[in-house]
Structure 1
Amino acid sequence: MSVTNTRGEIILPSGVITPHDNVRFVTEQGSAGTLYFTADEHIKTGENVTFRYGGTDVFKGVVFKYEYGHEKLYKYTAYDMLRYFENKDTVEYVGMTASKLLLRIAKQYGFTTGEIEDTKYRIAARLEDGVSLYKIIDYALTLTSGAGFGEFVYYDDCGRLCLKRMTSLRCGTVMTPSVCTDFSITVSIDKNYYNKVKLVQTSGTGRHFFIREDMERIARDGVLQYYGRLSPQENGTSVAINLLNSLSTPKRSIVCTCTKGDLTARAGAVVTADFGDGAADYFCERAEHIFGSSYTMKLNLSAL
């Protein structure tokens, strides 16, 4: 959905206020959705806020921080439900899909859920001890993807925890030079690129290592190793092969600033871009929406 009306309002339990200056709504992979706004009114930490733009609810969350100075304007930072995924916990599960695991965590923590797609792949057994909810769910989704069941994205949709197949989250705007005031393209092996995978599995008979490597890429790039741990029930050979296949491609990324915002552009969505070298689909790593005298957005995209 594209929106051109630049009016926005902050809705509180006590009423509606008009923000000063720009309102920024940021979604980023692996982080909570964040709303930045400034207002005359004092809002306590922990208070629920909704940002509505052009008649559409864009964000629902909780104020976590505010600051102010002599001008008596309060600068607020609010996060959506995913902020609570920074909580650490111990979770053990057997024969459970990532979607069922997410529903289990949502029930335990009292999260409201929306559409949760069935990820289908049953994970043999996992013990996650003292790690964040992010890491628990992310690893379950990594195993699901590695087993060939597709890529899934979880996110907060205005107060509802959702899980969808990545291909069903698509931005409605194609990124081209005609809609972007600026763009830059980068090709890199600096982050999230590995040409060797080493996994360790501990069982009653000791420690076993599963190693897969791309010798051609190692000869060219040097050894860039991914290291991970497996539960005793996991198929180490299969996991290592799937991880190497998904991690051994150089990363192509685009940063673009758009003259017109589109609320379907969010972290986790698929965005089509064509900057003169052919149209291709990209994964949205980060989306920043700026609501002011006009509505614009800045996207960080990585090749699928």
Structure 2
Amino acid sequence: MLEIIIDNRDGYLWDISGIVSDVTYKTARIGRASSMEITFLKGGLYEAKEFKYTMGDVVRIQFGNTPMFLGYIFVIDDGRDEQVKITAYDQLRYLMVTEYYQGTNKTATEVLEHFVDRLQLKMEVLIDTEYKIPTIREDNVKAMDIICGALESTLTATGERFLFFDNFGWLTLRNVKNMVLDLSLGDDSLMFDYKLKTSIEDSYNVVWLTQDNTDTGVRTVYPAQDSANVAKWGFLKLVQNIDEKANAAQIKRTLENLIQLKNRVGRSFQIDSIGDIRVRAGCYLHIDIKEIGIDNYYMVNECTHKFDGDEHTMTLELVDIRKDDKKVTVVT
């Protein structure tokens, strides 16, 4: 079912599908490149003497007729025995370099396009995230973190969540609202195990936005809180600085988005199930587990596909990132 090709970039293409013993494919929603670990047997009776694999070789994998992964060899684990394991990463790996960026009124799309051009990567035509970030000043920071920071600023200001990833050799940017799969996992569908975790370790029921006036030296604080949750959880405060040029409407909207995003119990869980190659980090899918009262859509935070012979399984780390509909009074 898997077609695995190594391209030495010297005119040779090697189809190693028949000698591969297992494959592990991992995707993450934020801050990491997709990875592909491939274990195969070397030194077979019919192995061509020209066959080789080295750093930077291209790895292309299809699942049936569906393009699955295109990346580059970064790690080779070899030895005297017959097994070799190579690890390849997609283009996002090249965004792990230390960079700098300064910009005014730039969208997250423009920030991503800047680094794609600077690092000579390939990308599709990107959607426009629209929100203009007032000021970005980053130095000695990974390009990946600068891009993720721009997307996080967009989320905080607008409530819109975007995902960028490598789509078989082309960097793309999508609104997660358009990444809902027609797939349900649970009691009666594909799942064979789960683990549930609830936590308020990363929750906040009080948010303060601070705004500095460089002319007067005065700092203004704009607070929002959920008093009922303060009574239940205690005082969990988040303080963030907002750009000096932000107006009252922008401050109010940012406060509302932050308190809705942060003021709730975090629920995450792991599901082990039969594999479906459509599933990757960043997509939504339906979860139905009656024992714990879950019947809703969740986002895949991390996804691991494992192929062992004819067996295809996947392990999903799922998060509930839906906005809470409860309205919290914002004081400005």
Question: TM-score range with shorter-chain normalisation?
Answer: 0.7 to 0.9
Contact 2:207–2:224 (Cα < 8 Å) also in 1: yes
Contact 2:101–2:138 (Cα < 8 Å) also in 1: yes
Q: Secondary structure at the match of 1:267?
A: coil
What are the equivalent positions in structure 2 for 1:38-187 lying under 5 Å apart?
38-40=39-41, 42-148=52-158, 150-178=160-188, 179-187=190-198
What does residue 273 of structure 1 align with?
287
- 2:7 paired with 1:7: no
Task: Pick the structure with greater CA Rg.
Answer: 2
What does residue 238 of structure 2 align with?
226
- 1:230 deviates by 3.9
What does residue 329 of structure 2 align with?
none
Contact 2:38–2:86 (Cα < 8 Å) also in 1: yes
What TM-score does the superposition give when structure 2 sets the normalisation length? 0.81
1:244 to 247, 251, 259: 259
Q: Secondary structure at the match of 2:313?
A: strand
Structure 1 gap ranges (5+) = 1-5
Contact 2:102–2:137 (Cα < 8 Å) also in 1: yes
What does residue 38 of structure 2 align with?
37
What TM-score does the superposition give when structure 1 sets the normalisation length? 0.88
What does residue 3 of structure 1 align with?
none
Contact 1:282–1:302 (Cα < 8 Å) also in 2: yes
Q: Distance in 2 between matches of 1:22 and 1:227?
A: 47
Sequence identity percentage: 26
1:198-245 deviations in whole A, cap 9, x for unaligned? Answer: 455555243636444433323322333434444433458343442222
Q: CA RMSD in A?
A: 2.3
- 2:326 paired with 1:300: no
Structure 2 gap ranges (5+) = 43-51, 323-332
Contact 1:121–1:149 (Cα < 8 Å) also in 2: no
Please identify, of 161-170 and 89-98, the stretch whose mean Cα deviation from structure 2 is larger: 89-98
1:46-100 deviations in whole A, cap 9, x for unaligned? Answer: 2221122213221111111121233132111111111122222211122222122
Residues matched between the structures, number: 297
Contact 2:2–2:61 (Cα < 8 Å) also in 1: no
- 1:23 deviates by 0.5
Q: Secondary structure at the match of 1:113?
A: coil
1:253 to 258, 268, 278: 268
Higher relative contact order (CA 8 A, sep 6+): 1
- 2:16 paired with 1:22: no
After superposition, the Cα gap between the structure-2 partners of 1:174 and 1:22, relative to the gap in structure 1 and judged at 3 Å, is same
Contact 1:287–1:298 (Cα < 8 Å) also in 2: yes
